[in-house]
Amino acid sequence: MLIGKASPDDMNLHPIRYQWAYDLYNQAVRNTWFPHEIALKEDLDDWEKMTEDERHAVKFLMAFFNPAELIVNRSIALGIYPYLKSPEAHLYLAKQMWEEANHCVAFEYVLQTFPFDRENIFQLHLSVPSMAAKEEYINKYMRRMTEETLNIETMDGKKDFLRNLVATNIVMEGIWFYSGFMVALSFRQRNQLRNFGSMINWVLRDESLHLKFGMNLVHNILEENQELLTEDFAAEIRDIIIEGVNLETQYNKDLFPQGILGLNADYVNQYVQYVADRRLEELGLPKFYNATNPAKWMSTATDVYELVNFFEAQNTSYEVDGHSASVKKEEYKEPTAPAIPAGVGE
């Protein structure tokens, strides 16, 4: 079983029961990257030419993402990892936690490099209601996971686990982050912030695996605990996703109080609805919004495997693996910000 109280038997990697979790761990290790390998100097030149509304959007994104990476780690450490028995799932989550730390430091690097009022940016996630509401949503589902009365062996405990997993993994990582990535990458679409865009690509590559792991976790837990497969619970999971979309819709209005060239809150929110439909379908639920993808440049792919495959094809010289890491690292050159490929974004 994936969830439950861990016993001494669970402290042995072999025999591996959940091969997908072990495979994702190995892929994640090969995807390892470091923020300071990306030089941001050209992006600073772009910054000088950007409008106040464009700068606001970048600052607002950083204000959300920097703490968000830490919140995801907290949710994994307190709400997901302790309730899993599988050692291979634990291996993956340990790597994911390092990646979230790496993303936090990557955004910290951006915050240090650009001429930002950092104190002001660090305050925004507490003082802007639409941003604080997103954090409270995550904390609401997380809070139950830290209560001593939660018993993971019971139906109620398992439902609480899935509610928190859906809020953190499907909504925060699988919808909110994708919306933010789309906005960040849209600057590169206009030939601005191209190196920042490369950094976002690498974050996105990691996040696509996080989402894949979370989706597999949900599906395997439901398969092993079929008493959870009720219409009421399915409706509740759908409502948790809709609640997350509503919060993102409000947040995007503050991200674009006036809109910027080719990008405004309505455009981004249509993308949010499109991605939310994708997540519902990936969970085996019907679409809710029937929204078309307004940002076709983000993706024509239908699943995250294609995204991973794209990066394997494009970035192999940067891929680290056990046999050739040193050689490949030496070959690595600063990313040249290729055009956004089909396959990124979902």
Q: Which stretches of the chain bind Fe ion, using CB under 5 A?
A: 69, 100, 103, 173, 207, 210
Tokens of 29: 């290790």
Rounded to whole angstroms, what are the CA distances from 22 to 29, 63, 90, 218, 229?
Answer: 11, 33, 9, 16, 26
Q: Which is nearer to Fe ion, 169 or 220 (CB)?
A: 169
Give least dist CB 102 to Fe ion, A: 8
Q: Which residue has the tokens 């959007």?
A: 57
Give least dist CB 101 to Fe ion, A: 9
Give least dist CB 207 to Fe ion, A: 5
Instruction: Please identify every residue annotated as catalytic.
Output: 109
Q: Which residue type does 233 have?
A: F
Three-point CA angle 268, 270, 271, nearest 5°? 65
Give least dist CB 227 to Fe ion, A: 29
**Secondary structure (3-state) at 205:** helix
Tokens of 245: 């979309």
Q: Which is nearer to Fe ion, 173 or 248 (CB)?
A: 173
Q: Which is nearer to Fe ion, 88 or 173 (CB)?
A: 173
> Cβ-count burial of 130 within 10 angstroms (0-12 exposed, 13-18 middle, 19+ buried)?
middle
Q: Which is nearer to Fe ion, 69 or 248 (CB)?
A: 69
The residue among 76, 68, 127, 78 whose CA lies nearest residue 103 is: 68
- Work out the angle between the directed axes of helices 265-282 and 177-189 (0-180°, nearest 10): 130
Q: Which residue has the tokens 């290790």?
A: 29
Give least dist CB 72 to Fe ion, A: 5
Q: Which is nearer to Fe ion, 54 or 206 (CB)?
A: 206
DSSP 118: H
Tokens of 300: 């024509």
Q: Which is nearer to Fe ion, 265 or 279 (CB)?
A: 279
Q: Which residue has the tokens 């983000």?
A: 298
Q: Which is nearer to Fe ion, 71 or 265 (CB)?
A: 71
The residue among 206, 216, 220, 215 whose CA lies nearest residue 27 is: 206
**Dist CA 208 CA 214 (whole Å):** 10
Q: Which residue has the tokens 């865009």?
A: 197
**Residue 279 and residue 304 in contact, taking contact as beta carbons nearer than 8 Å:** no
**Dist CA 284 CA 279 (whole Å):** 9
